[in-house]
Amino acid sequence: MGFTDYLKDPTLGGVYRKIRKHFGIRESAYDVTSACQLRCDGCYYFQGDKYQVRDNRNAEDWHELMKQERERGINFVNLAGAEPALVPRILEACYQEIPSGCIFTNGLKPIAPNIKYRIHISVWGDETGDSIYRKLANGKKGPYCLPNQLKNYENDDRVVFVYTFNRENVTQVDNVVSAIHEHGHKVTFNVYSSPEKHGSLLSLGESIQESETDSLERIREKMFKMIVDYPDSVLYSYYNAFVHTHPLSLRKQFGCPYPRADGGPGIGTTFRSYRANLTHVADHNCCVPDTDCSQCRHYAAGSAIVSSKLSMHAKSERLFRAWLDYVDTYLSIWVMGYQRETNFLCSREDVEAFAELPCNGNQETHVGWEHAKP
Amino acid sequence: MSNAPDGMERLQSILLGSLDKSPGVIKEIRQSLTPDGRLLDAGIDSLDLMDFLLRVEDEFRVEIEQDEYPKLVSLRAILTYLSAREQVSEPAGDLGTTTQRTS
């Protein structure tokens, strides 16, 4: 059985044709401001030196940049920063030029409803965790953000909550997902990935109590439970859970197509990560520029890394089903209006069978456990 | 003389048949295709290229090694690879010609 045989299956062929309409997404990332009300543990923005720039707050300059980006073929923008909601005129400028994209926000300040980008709202834990990891700019304890986030974005179909697992907050997800579900919102998962130079109390690295592998297994089990308990609210597949909690980082499993890493024919030549002063540095061109690649399990990275590896997943029908689930899920998280499939094509049992496969063990390049015979 | 399409025509046919794009876009791609031109420069994105190569694998009953993918940037490069694997004869002409290599 080969790739074209899989496509003859009406279900697989149908999902493939659906997701294929989005193969032409060309994205880049833009830090639209270095300002934020908070200084949270685990925030990727205040790692490295990218925040040490002078912001360009001239909306006309952003218009011009977006025009140039559009001419470069970019049709999807990721607006991040510190806190994009603090610069509404820049968001408006970007939206007028490139109307598809995603904004990453802490959700404390509403974003104008006419900006029809996806909005990803970060959640770090429940009332016990979120208020510990969140800190005010003066270093004092921060707010528990979820109640305000839910209030600010009530009945807003742009929103996807992003719950970032770390080794301390695994059990806190129950309360968070329950609240998000009750408000009719969607949630997806991220796995905390350590920055390059500075450790964080959120890192999954070895601790006295637990190994990294054990932490990851605990997170995976909790993800599986959330998928079963909240099928309509949780945007995550079993295969998402598998690859993002694998003992090997995404790069070690699959390689990485971003320019900062291995590069590749698609995103490897087009993706840029602009700073708030409208410059970009080739060495930093990836979705989370200061993340340690050997620890990267970031949800945004996976969306590009796993999705780009179609050929690796064409080695068996089961892998192809897993890939379809992953891409279908990824599109529902990132693309406004995209409706994912009701049922998964790759079950928990299928995924657990992957876990039993031997790993080739080459830690330096993508090991491709999926190359093993299914 | 065989009426079967030569390798280059066959590849072009698989490629254009695999594209999920509007007829106008496919026409533009067809017009910009050359044997040695980079497929990515002809309006084909990287996942379309991957889709195409997977179909080539099936059509020519050959498994392309993962390491080879980055080298297969043009129709000529793919045909050369397939020829080396003795899956197809390689024509000398341009796309759309019916020239057969004789031996």
pLDDT for residue A374: 29
For chain A, the average pLDDT equals 88
- In angstroms, what separates the C-alpha of A123 from chain B's closest C-alpha? 32
The answer to whether the Cβ–Cβ distance between B20 and A314 falls below 8 Å is no
> A297-317 in b/e burial notation, b at 16+ Cβ within 10 A?
bbbbbbbbbbbbbbbbbbbbb
Whether B103 shows a pLDDT value over 50: the answer reads no
B63-90 tens-digit pLDDT: 888 778 888 999 999 999 999 887 665 5
Whether A360 shows a pLDDT value over 80: the answer reads no
Per the structure block, which two tokens stand in for B96? 């759309």
Whether A139 shows a pLDDT value over 90: the answer reads no
What percent of chain A is modeled with pLDDT above 70?
90
- Mean of the pLDDT values across residues A160-184? 96
- Mean of the pLDDT values across residues A303-329? 92
Q: What is the dihedral of CA A180, A184, A188, A191, to 10 degrees?
A: 0
Residues contacting A59, CB < 8 A, separation 6+: A89, A90, A92, A93
Residues from B contacting A (CB-CB < 8 Å) are 20, 40, 45-51, 53-55, 57-59, 66, 69-70, 73
Say how far apart CA A197 and CA A176 lie, in whole Å: 30
The answer to whether the Cβ–Cβ distance between A265 and B51 falls below 8 Å is no
Per the structure block, which two tokens stand in for A244? 């993002």
CA angle A248, A254, A259 (to 5 degrees): 110
pLDDT for residue A38: 86
Say how far apart CA A74 and CA B50 lie, in whole Å: 20
What does R_g of chain B's alpha carbons equal in angstroms?
Answer: 13
Q: What is the dihedral of CA A300, A305, A311, A316, to 10 degrees?
A: -70
- B47 to chain A: which residues are within 8 Å by CB? 20, 23, 266, 307-308, 310
DSSP H stretches of helix in B1-103? 7-18, 23-32, 46-60, 75-84
Q: What is the dihedral of CA A289, A221, A129, A105, to 10 degrees?
A: 40
In this complex, which of A3, A266, A308 lies closest to B57 when CB atoms are compared?
A3
pLDDT for residue A161: 98
- Which residue, among A264, A262, A263, A260, has the nearest Cα to A273 in the 3D structure? A260
Per the structure block, which two tokens stand in for A68? 């140039």
Higher per-residue confidence, B18 vs A369 = B18
Largest CA distance in chain A: 60
pLDDT for residue B92: 44
pLDDT for residue A142: 84
In this complex, which of A3, A310, A368 lies closest to B47 when CB atoms are compared?
A310
Q: How far is CA A304 from CA A35, A160, A294, B66, in A?
A: 27, 18, 16, 18
Whether A371 shows a pLDDT value over 60: the answer reads no
- Which residue, among A299, A56, A48, has the nearest Cα to A163 in the 3D structure? A299
User: Taken in order A241, A291, A78, A111, is the CA torsion positive or negative?
Assistant: positive
A213-231 tens-digit pLDDT: 888 999 999 999 999 999 9
Residues contacting A305, CB < 8 A, separation 6+: A250, A251, A254, A255, A256, A257
In this complex, which of B46, B54, B55 lies closest to A266 when CB atoms are compared?
B46
Q: Place A364 in a pLDDT band, splitting at 50, 70 and 90.
A: very low
